[in-house]
Structure 1
Amino acid sequence: MNPDPTKSDLRAELRRRRRKLATAAPHAAEAAAEHLVLEHLPAFACFSGYHAVGAEIDPSPLIRRLARTGAFFALPVCEEHEAPLVFRAWDERDIPQPDLFGVPAPPRHAPVLHPDLIVCPLLAFDRQGGRLGQGGGHFDRTIAELRAHKPVFVLGLAYAGQEVRSVPCEPHDQRLDAILTESGYIHVRKD
């Protein structure tokens, strides 16, 4: 076996693993939300979640918990393939509209927001804050753009079994500030 798997190798392996984890841990999302200590997060006036696709861990319990803080809530929307994601305010009275990838999203008339806290999905993570996403670079571009203007805290939400020894990272890859799983909260130490 290749001792240093490529991102493509890891993606294929981790998609299979995540499907198994989703079946084996049906209450992982609720357990993860319970593990979050709000005091571990920096102050935030706006946060974003995501709409779970496939076997991604469901962010709904965590979103409900964060919403009780009174912060504004936004969902990411892919409006252009090579552009950063746009975060639009979510109102549960709205009818979701599919974005470019078919992911349910707020309608185009919803206000654009700039979150201070981003809860993002992933395929794999490591203890140094490395994150392996789906491969389109959307979250990396988006986080880089936001971080160029203000501090943004990025919380990866995952099954504990998605942890790997080391995620292969490139200069453009944006690191997580923390990871939340059904087993607990992992703060990433910044050196």
Structure 2
Amino acid sequence: MNKSQIRKKILKIRKKKFDKKFEINSGKLISYLETNISNLKNIGGYYPSNYEIDDLEILDLLEKKDFNASLPRITKNNQMNFYKWSNNDLLKINKFGIPEPLSSRVFYPDVLLIPLVAYDSNLNRLGYGGGFYDRYIEKIEKIKKIIKIGLAFSFQKTSSIPINQHDKRLDFIITEKEILR
């Protein structure tokens, strides 16, 4: 299957199977972050939409443990930057209907929590097709090393994701059943 076919199939399944109570083990993720990358305190998350894994509780719990949270905002030329965000901060709705932070302070995460449509065992990620995360990862990795963690439901796994030169592999994919590395 090509990317478009995989995307269409998995999004249909995700909408049908989505259950707000069906979550990844946030405690396991937070424990892993505290144990293995405790010196990296800047976390970039996302505002969940379209039946994605909800990472807002994770960001809130991390913030209580002295991590700094941020969310992405789409900028000119369809670029993306991350901006400081806290659970009580106001958000604005972007052109895709996704809430974004109002902060003007660009933030460079050490760890990115990344939504995805589908993934494979080789840590390849399929997004919505806009390339926002691939472009952002390309840009930030010129500034600093980051850890890229995809969040997904186990049923989003597919045998293989077709990749091209612009696609960025993840370092981890965390589901409700496993942590792939």
TM-score by length of 1: 0.86
Alignment match, 1:182: 176
SS in 2 for 1:154: strand
What letter matches 1:122 in structure 2? Answer: L
Which piece of structure 1 moves more, 122-131 or 91-100? 91-100
Equivalent in 80, 98, 114 of residue 120 of structure 1: 114
1:102–1:186 CA distance, 2 compared to 1 (3 A): same
Cα deviations by residue, 1:64-93 (Å, 9 ceiling, x for unpaired)? 33323312110000122432x110111334
Judged with a 3 Å threshold, the aligned counterparts in structure 2 of structure 1 residues 95 and 151 are, in CA distance, closer, same or farther, namely same
Distance in 1 of aligned mates of 2:16 and 2:59: 24
The CA distance in 1 between the partners of 2:98 and 2:138, in whole Å, is: 22
Counterparts of residues 1-191 of structure 1 (less than 5 Å)? 5-23=1-19, 26-29=20-23, 31-36=24-29, 37-38=32-33, 39-41=35-37, 43-83=39-79, 85-107=80-102, 109-187=103-181
| Distance verdict in 2 for CA 1:16–1:152, change over 3 Å | same
In structure 2, what is the Cα distance between the partners aligned to 1:157 and 1:12? 19
Question: What residue ranges of structure 2 are gaps of 5+ in the alignment?
Answer: none
Give, in whole Å, the separation in 1 of the partners of 2:71 and 2:40.
15
The alignment of Structure 1 onto Structure 2 pairs a total of residues equal to 178
Structure 1: segments with no counterpart, 5+ residues: none
Question: In 2, are the aligned partners of 1:35 and 1:180 still within 8 Å (CA)?
Answer: no
Identity of aligned residues (%): 30
In 2, Cα distance between the equivalents of 1:12 and 1:174?
21
Change (3 A) 1:185 1:65: farther
Instruction: With the length of structure 2 as denominator, give the TM-score of the two structures.
Output: 0.90
Please say which of residues 14-23 and 113-122 is displaced more in the overlay.
14-23
Secondary structure at the aligned position of 2:5 is classed as helix
Q: Take 2:134 and 2:38, find their aligned partners in 1: how far apart are those partners? A: 20
CA RMSD of aligned residues (A): 1.7
